[in-house]
Structure 1
Amino acid sequence: MKIRTADLSDVETLVEFNQAMAQETEDKSLDTSTLQAGVRALMLDSKKGFYLVAERNGTVVGSLMITTEWSDWRNGTFWWVQSVYVRLEARREGVYSALYAHVKAMARNEDDVCGIRLYVEKDNAAARTTYENLGMNQTAYRMYEQMI
């Protein structure tokens, strides 16, 4: 398996993955044109973050997105893992583990990265088990939002 930073040639695959993930985990349909613009915007502005993709035999089988959050408490940056998706036929084959190992290696090479975080749907037991098996711990925080 090859892990690489996604580029503009991956936009359609990432749009497909994001739509599938939203439908599967939240029963949400995402607007294709908005999503395409959002994926492109991130790729064209590294300050927003980056995507990693996992390829097997030349086919992208999984992906994730990293965004950042500054922590004044730690004088460091958290990397947030978002938009995780692995093709159905490639699940339970170490795709996410390989992506996450790559993220950890990259983060360790950055002077200001103090940790890696993600959020997960509370009812997604399979994802929670995967994250725990990779050494992540549930925090005491709950997430709130207000859409604008």
Structure 2
Amino acid sequence: MNKSRRTASTSPAQRITAAIIEKLEQGTKPWVKPWRGVPVSRPLRSCGTPYRGMNTFWLWMVADGCGYASPYWMTYRQCQVLGGQVRKGEKSTVAIFYKSYTKEVENAEGEADTENRRVLKAYAVFNADQCDG
């Protein structure tokens, strides 16, 4: 896994796509893992809730590439709240939050109407193996 500095102009989707393409060009299918009887856990938030969707695949791929054994991932602040500290020089990876919902709004005539909305956020997360305490 390439741990180089990221530019602000690169979106999380572009970073994830580039990493997947890099693995494919190396001849590795990142979604196929030779588990060899090792216990497997989905990536977990600091509270123990499993990640879902693309985050599961992405964080597995990052953990494998960087050699992390812990399934736990957290933000810098979550690490501090739990009494830990991210080691100096450690690089974060991205986790994605996506949600779609409908909201009632008033239209131009003042009548109630529903509007579809989406939220997409990216968070910088660290693996527990990158933290002390």
Counting helix residues as a fraction of each chain, which structure ranks higher?
1
Could you say which structure has the larger radius of gyration? 2
Normalised by the length of structure 2, the TM-score is 0.27
Which has the bigger relative contact order, CA under 8 A and spacing at least 6? Answer: 2
TM-score, structure 1 length as denominator? Answer: 0.25
